[in-house]
Amino acid sequence: MAAPDARLEEALSPVRERLDRAAILCDLDGTLAPIVARPELARLPDGAREALARLRDRALLLGFVSGRGLADLERIVGMEDCAYAGNHGMELHRPGAEPELAEGVAEHLEAIAEFVAAWPAERLAPGDLRMEPKGATLSVHARGARDPEAARLLLAQVASEALDRGLVPTPGREVLEVRPPVAVDKGTAVRALLRGSGARAAVYIGDDRTDADAWRALRAMRSEGALEVALGVAVASGEVPPAVREAADIEVPGPPGALHVVRRLGD
């Protein structure tokens, strides 16, 4: 359900009371950055980086968790002293540490590269699809395809070939992601970023099925006693499935709503 200001303030209050012991974790595309026709065009809206910087300076930890490759995620956010998880947690970069791969990912990098090579642009052209290699994973984009049915059929073929190679195809919003067969998702990502941080409260803001993994992980950590407060915020739009919205604790309207949450926490 959408959150009127009073309900949102009630949900954020326990986090604000513990802000110096709180971790604020955000998805990027569709959450902080509006969805665009081509992923390379994505950017933070005006004023977002300043609001995020205020929150970073007040909270225990500010982190970004995305399906984008780590380097691309860090380029778009453009902020130091933050935690980053790229490729749904397969790439991790904690403040003050070197970037690293999640356990089990390195042994599959060659298979991902071989799959990218097996799908050159000319094979994707009949469906008007675009390949985005991301190192540990890859994405095949259908957004903006001139023939949606041709795109759907070709995406199904890409998914079938990924399965034949022992890889894991995962559909998203007009995109197919192909991942290595490792037990890594945004839930394991948030656990990894929070490990050893001392956080007692955590907020995760997201807009997709993959973000529900993070919400579940935070609730599990609360049940385990690792957190006192766990809050899942869904960023709703017409493309967000009802099941995703229902999986969160509270809902805000689109990226402007996500930025409002950032500002309320940081002010």
**pLDDT tens-digit map of 188-230:** 999 999 999 999 999 999 998 899 999 999 999 999 999 999 9
Mean pLDDT of the chain: 94
pTM, to two decimals = 0.90
Determine the Cα–Cα distance for residues 187 and 89; give it in Å rounded to an integer: 8
Which domains does the chain carry? 106-179 (3.30.70.1020)
What pLDDT does 4 receive? 60
Backbone angles phi, psi at 146, to 5 degrees: -75, -25
Q: Is 183 helix (H, G, I), strand (E, B) or coil?
A: coil
Q: Is 27 part of the annotated catalytic residue set?
A: yes
Distance of alpha carbon 149 from alpha carbon 24, whole angstroms: 39
Tell me how far apart the alpha carbons of residues 26 and 127 are, in angstroms, rounded to a whole number.
32
Q: What is the mean pLDDT of residues 103-128?
A: 96
Cα–Cα distance, 195 to 133 (Å, whole number)? 29
% the chain with pLDDT above 70: 98
Reported as a pLDDT band with limits 50, 70 and 90, residue 1 is: very low
| Residue 80 vs residues 15, 95, 146, 215, 238: alpha-carbon distances, Å | 23, 8, 39, 25, 33
Across the strands, what pairs with 89? none
- Amino acid, res. 50: E
Residue 177 token pair: 């992601």
Query: What is the separation of C-alpha 175 from the centre of its chain, rounded to a whole number of angstroms?
Result: 14
- The confidence band for 235, taking pLDDT boundaries of 50, 70 and 90, is very high
Out of 5, 20, 27, 249, pick the active-site residue.
27
